[in-house]
Chain A
């Protein structure tokens, strides 16, 4: 199991060091600094073995988190734990920075003592931790409160405490998708997928049983056969789809927050759970079929002699004209030996950024079914470098108000038998945001 956990700043100074196992000596702290942080070459692997000691590291801005072990540990678990550790710290004191860590080191030690025992990860849900690890010092707890804490930390529903009360029961659902594309210069889709998340913010009283439904092909087909559309009609939350009237979507794979009953999903494909209070990522999913690609990039690069390049890029928006895409940015890479660039664009602003070796073209808003164009002349310095310019792909960023996968939320039902509010009393909000992931077109 994890033998020790260290946090360093970018210079390699130790900010936090907690050793859990006797086989990890203090020299391990230095070994990591010398061999990884101060290594001359770029780090080639997130796992390093130095003198039979294995180091796992992740970096957050310029802070290094390293877990150390001498055993054959579950490597996936160690990384998952390190990410979780970052989440917990962010939830407690915001951004992970040297200053924040130094200011909160007592808190961090307290957390590390709680969420890792003898190197075994323990309950690390922030909701539960915040009930008894506080920065405000001791809270005098009554006996009931104490046992409530311990039952929550160890309990079956470790992510929610009992006795939560809201005057107004409200919940927000965000369907956040990132659409990824790799396209050949000829416009052929080499690979495309959407990775989406359903984020739920809930302010519900008691221990509400929730049931979530979406236009999952498997469920719809099953219902279609049975002829029953019992839930679909009544409580449809309505989507604002951009692409078209697709009825259902094929989900390649999905994973759920630990509150979702997986065995029930496996058997009936229904998503039921008791949500944590506040925000949580209910599910993640991936689709590859029938994706609505919001933009198409058409590049044209021509080499005019040895010292000049002509670039023309057209972007076309491909969604309902009534919808608006925002924060559009097209990044056109330029060769390293670029000496000057002249740009003409119809819409938005374009600039050559020498430090990034790219022309960055920004458009604030663009409606669907429109087209825009940029053309540029790039002057090159003559070089005798044998190697040709690698021509990195043209990448794009944007945000659209629909789900490119076509996913729609059909219902989210809330049952709380013990308290006197019903599903109708809960105010529900749904929002769809589609963002670009890695959206690249080769040129």
Chain B
């Protein structure tokens, strides 16, 4: 924040003028003060002098003083009290303008003492004879609620406000509705607005009479109402449709929102339904002749509407043609909508336009236009050939970014129409050298790999990429690996050397876990069973779906309920950008009550068709994702595990020590897991986590189950990392609790050292420095082994990853739950506290392998009460794989026996504080459920 210091002389001069006897001089002085205030100069020193000017009958001067008060009262609460008397007096003034001014200003002063005095005048003003005062007082209740919600409830202002909904003056009604809507948002469950057919009727009447802004408040409020049946829904729609002719675009959009929402309830065979659909198109088109900023808002909303109900605008393609002088943000949005509306009927026109756009100046726009041509090809099969030839024309221009963009989309066309357009590959290969963007390079490599058998020099082409392997981006590296493996499987004789080379580059010389894992998988596949490898790697790929870049259906429904608002502009739910509880409520479209026909309109059937993963179309990610994913991991098997049966309780005293800690793992294992895809940064990881069945026994009786379950779960995924299980990062400290500092993290055990891995994000607007960290005493004596290494200051919106080594020699105190850790983080702004829970597996030490003999003896010694048993469900690993997997997390297999087709594994674990855990694991071949029968604990 910039602060200009006003020199003492200037302040002194102003002070003298403020105390002058002459009214004009006084006023000029206050004006100067306000001017200084505006540019950020600190003029708070003049507080008493300015307040002295308040007692005046000059309305203009009074307003200026009030403006000053609103700015500085908070910093000078004691002196602000001097103004109270004048305020209270003004609230009694015979002039309604002054009464309203006083109550309006008082509500803006966030000083407790003033707020106390506000209640009485506010009560009077809410019942004032003049509507101007009442409408101001209505908003003032919302202000007061923002300062002190309890006070508003205690004083009964909410009831008075509700009464104002029946006021005779439309503007009072509108403001009361606005205030109530805002207050209701922070009490999601209260029935504050109490919308019922009677009150709705009042609102609809007021709608015809109030100002344009009031109409917006009322329409936005109406949108939250749930009509009882389709009749009521229709009658509301009928009364709202005239608003579509309003000159104010916001009124139009809010009316569209109400109609889109209530239409859901109308039976589709109703005549009125069709009429309504027809009425919606013209006003939406008219919005496009508004000013560019509003056009942008309108287009973002039309984008949603077109996805939800494509039939509304299907004949209006032409109005979305881009004009040469449109601002770039309008052009890009129009382009998006053009593709959504493209159909067989209009494709010729669309293609002609797109080709025109591809020669424009703005690089982003040109790229998007080229991409759009590809999307048309995928969407409208009849046009595919024309699209491909258009793309080839564009490639001939040799404009670098056009060529690259074209290659990326041609790759998608190949996937949609296999064995149709491969004749163009030769042309593509000519441009190999000019590709310098990762996405284009990856696309080209995919093409070479996929059609290796038709490209004579495929090995040479791929080899040329291999030279700079380590300088490539991950996307290209992964693609190159896959492409060369494909090539090898197709032409094994000539390419053995090449495949060896790429596998060793990927597995030995790379730090990237994704790449390494994929490398290892291929390597093992190829070395153990080349036939299987062929089946897996060269498997027939499912066709990609025709619709691209669609918004996920539940999100779309929510966004439709937010038409006109910021959420619909960002295409994000309000919770993604609004802090606190406000607006986090999820809105849903109402269900149709009409006849038993399908709720989906036929045109959008493919979009909203099935809710299950099986039928959902696989959507092409718009950018930056892996192409032709190895094994097509995104098609995860459906997870259909029922709730696990409760396991018998054999938990004993000795177990408590571990049990308590593990409970917490059992308690909330699911949410962090879904974050897997994000931290893994690869589809492979994401699929691995996504496919994990819910095996956790949620009962408290099987504490260890959670821990082991977690470890096993990873085995279910395909892109498993080698090494110990590391839970995905979770947010420990949200930014709003820590003045903009967000901390998320996880724990890992690497090479015998426990690491706390933190991600610090600065979401504030100022720089953060001087970080330090400290732990409270905890169950296993965890303590930082070094200072928190944040070397450079953290600037706004910057994120830093820090790894903090931990020791287990700190002070010990039993925590509840056992694995709870309380942490304090300090920076230049403040000290923040949070607590987190570490996975118990992190404490398993490397020398936990017990001698066979010792194990046998100990096993017998353990008293029965220290024993417990539970099942792990749906783990598809055989006993050896499980054993290897567990070993990575320091759970050691001591012995293995096979009895009646069951594998029995005996295992030991040692905790960092010397506690031993012994376990028997039974694995029945072919049965995905494991039984862990015994689990014993001894303290050494």
Contacts and interface: CB of A to CB of B under 8 A. Distances in A.
Interface string A232-269: 00000000000000000000111111100111011000
Contact of B567 (A22, A56, A72, A76): A72
A281 B562 contact: no
A25 B764 CA distance: 12
Contacts of A58: 291, 293
Interface stretch (A106-114, A204-212, A216-224, A425-433): A106-114
B564 A75 contact: yes
Interface in B199-227: 208-213, 216-217, 220
A110 B63 contact: yes
Contacts of A118: 107-108, 139-140, 142-143
Interface stretch (A141-149, A300-308, A309-317, A401-409): A141-149
B285 A79 contact: no
B248 A258 contact: yes
A190 interface: yes
A31 B31 CA distance: 27
Contacts of A286: 282, 285-286, 289
Contacts of B513: none
Contacts of B236: none
Nearest to A158: B211
Contacts of B245: 253-256, 262, 265-266
Nearest to A26: B1
A387 interface: yes
Given A45-B296, A263-B208, A79 B291 contact: yes
B297 A252 contact: no
B578 A70 contact: yes
Contact of B293 (A46, A49, A120): A46
A50 B217 CA distance: 26
A91 interface: no
A438 B325 contact: yes
A52 B175 CA distance: 27
Contact of A73 (B2, B248, B566): B566
A81 B107 CA distance: 23
B577 A255 contact: no
Contacts of A265: 242, 245
Interface in A381-395: 386-388, 390-393, 395
Contact of B763 (A51, A123, A390): A51
Given A1-B182, A286-B285, A286-B289, A255 B252 contact: yes
B39 A13 contact: yes
A230 interface: no
Interface string A126-149: 000000100001100101001101
Contact of B97 (A71, A123, A132, A386): A132
Given A263-B208, A438-B325, A191 B318 contact: yes
Contacts of A117: 104, 136, 139, 175
Interface in A1-60: 1, 13-17, 20-23, 25-31, 42, 44-47, 49-52, 54, 56-58
Given A26-B1, A147-B96, A51 B139 contact: no
B104 A388 contact: no
Interface in B79-136: 94-97, 104, 107-108, 110, 130-133, 135-136
B254 A74 contact: yes
A155 interface: yes
A122 B40 CA distance: 27
A412 to B, nearest CB: 19
Interface string A67-109: 0011111111101111100000000000000000000011001
B4 to A, nearest CB: 11
Nearest to A438: B323
B67 A266 contact: no
A156 interface: yes
A150 B97 contact: yes
B329 interface: yes
Contacts of B95: 141, 146
Contacts of B59: 138
Interface string B562-602: 10111111100010011100110000000000000000000
Interface stretch (B334-342, B355-363, B473-481): B355-363
B246 interface: yes
B60 interface: yes
B149 interface: no
Interface string B162-183: 0000000111100100100010
Interface string B510-542: 000000000000000000000000000000000
Contact of B209 (A15, A77, A156, A252): A156
B852 interface: no
B34 A262 contact: no
B324 A79 contact: no
Interface string B401-412: 000000000000
Given A105-B35, A156-B170, A255 B286 contact: yes
Interface in B592-632: none
B2 A80 contact: no
B335 to A, nearest CB: 14
A76 B249 contact: yes
Contact of B577 (A42, A52, A154): A52
A195 interface: yes
Contacts of A414: none
A390 B359 contact: yes
B38 interface: yes
Interface in B1-34: 1-2, 31, 34
A335 interface: no
A193 B108 CA distance: 48
Contacts of B556: none
B797 A51 contact: yes
Nearest to A16: B38
A45 B296 CA distance: 8
Nearest to A195: B289
A77 B178 CA distance: 13
Contacts of A153: 132, 171
Contacts of B324: 392-393, 395, 438, 440
Contact of A121 (B131, B213, B318, B566): B213
Contacts of A193: 319
A253, A256, A266, A286 interface centre (most CB from chain B within 10 Å): A253
B213 A15 contact: no
Nearest to A387: B399
A105 B97 contact: no
Nearest to B243: A262
B582 A120 contact: no
Contacts of A263: 208, 239, 242
B321 interface: yes
Contact of A258 (B247, B565, B569): B247
Contact of A143 (B66, B94, B217): B94
A393 B325 CA distance: 10
A16, A117, A442 interface centre (most CB from chain B within 10 Å): A117
Nearest to B140: A118
Interface of B: 1-2, 31, 34-35, 38-40, 57-60, 63-64, 66-67, 94-97, 104, 107-108, 110, 130-133, 135-136, 139-140, 142-143, 146, 169-172, 175, 178, 182, 208-213, 216-217, 220, 239, 241-243, 245-250, 252-254, 282-283, 285-286, 289, 291-294, 296-298, 318-319, 321, 323-325, 328-329, 349, 353, 356, 359-361, 397-399, 562, 564-570, 574, 577-579, 582-583, 740, 763-766, 796-797
24 contacts: A17-B38, A21-B146, A31-B765, A74-B250, A74-B565, A75-B566, A76-B294, A76-B297, A76-B298, A77-B213, A77-B254, A105-B34, A118-B108, A120-B178, A122-B135, A123-B211, A138-B57, A143-B94, A254-B286, A255-B246, A256-B245, A263-B239, A386-B399, A391-B359
Nearest 3 pairs of A and B residues by beta carbon: A253-B282, A150-B132, A76-B250
Given A26-B40, A254-B286, 7 more contacts: A47-B569, A47-B570, A52-B579, A72-B565, A113-B63, A156-B209, A258-B247
